[in-house]
């Protein structure tokens, strides 16, 4: 299912990139008419598809790095969260840090008076 989700999400990105490639070819003044596109079909395809293929490779590399980071190759049951609980030592540490911050704040105020 995840593969299909990636594929369906990938199609609109490729359509947008293909549109941008066509626009950049037109902006640079190459293949403005349909006759020019048909006459130089192989060159047109090369100019259009070479950057698109490189873009697909870059996207695939980033997706595979993301999958590896998320642990797709790890054996065992997969889960996406870790259950954390706050205990008494966490509360004590929070109170201690708040007291230290308050102490530093009041100490700097008292020193500033003298």
Give the range of the structural domain holding residue 11, as residue numbers without chain letter: 2-72
Q: Does the residue 34 lie in any domain?
A: yes
Taking the C-alpha atoms of residue 43 and residue 55, their distance in angstroms, rounded to an integer, is 19
pTM: 0.53
Q: Does the residue 97 lie in any domain?
A: no
Q: Does the residue 105 lie in any domain?
A: no
Q: Does the residue 53 lie in any domain?
A: yes
Q: Does the residue 27 lie in any domain?
A: yes
Query: Quick count: other Cβ atoms within 10 Å of Cβ 18?
Result: 15
Tally of structural domains, the chain: 1
pLDDT at position 111: 79
pLDDT at position 80: 65
Average pLDDT by consecutive 10-residue portion of the chain (114 residues)?
A: 77 89 89 88 89 89 83 73 85 96 89 75
Q: Does the residue 66 lie in any domain?
A: yes
pLDDT at position 78: 67
Q: Does the residue 100 lie in any domain?
A: no
Query: Quick count: other Cβ atoms within 10 Å of Cβ 63?
Result: 13
Q: Does the residue 85 lie in any domain?
A: no
């Amino acid at each position: 299912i995840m593969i299909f989700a990636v594929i369906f999400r990938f199609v609109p990105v490729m359509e947008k990139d293909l549109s941008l490639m066509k626009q950049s070819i037109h902006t640079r003044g190459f293949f403005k008419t349909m006759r020019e596109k048909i006459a130089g079909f192989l060159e047109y395809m090369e100019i259009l598809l070479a950057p698109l293929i490189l873009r697909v490779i870059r996207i695939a590399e980033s997706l595979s790095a993301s999958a590896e980071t998320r642990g797709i190759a790890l054996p065992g049951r997969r889960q996406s969260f870790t259950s954390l609980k706050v205990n008494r030592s966490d509360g004590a540490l929070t109170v201690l840090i708040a007291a230290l911050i308050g102490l530093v704040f009041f100490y700097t105020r008292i020193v500033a008076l003298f």
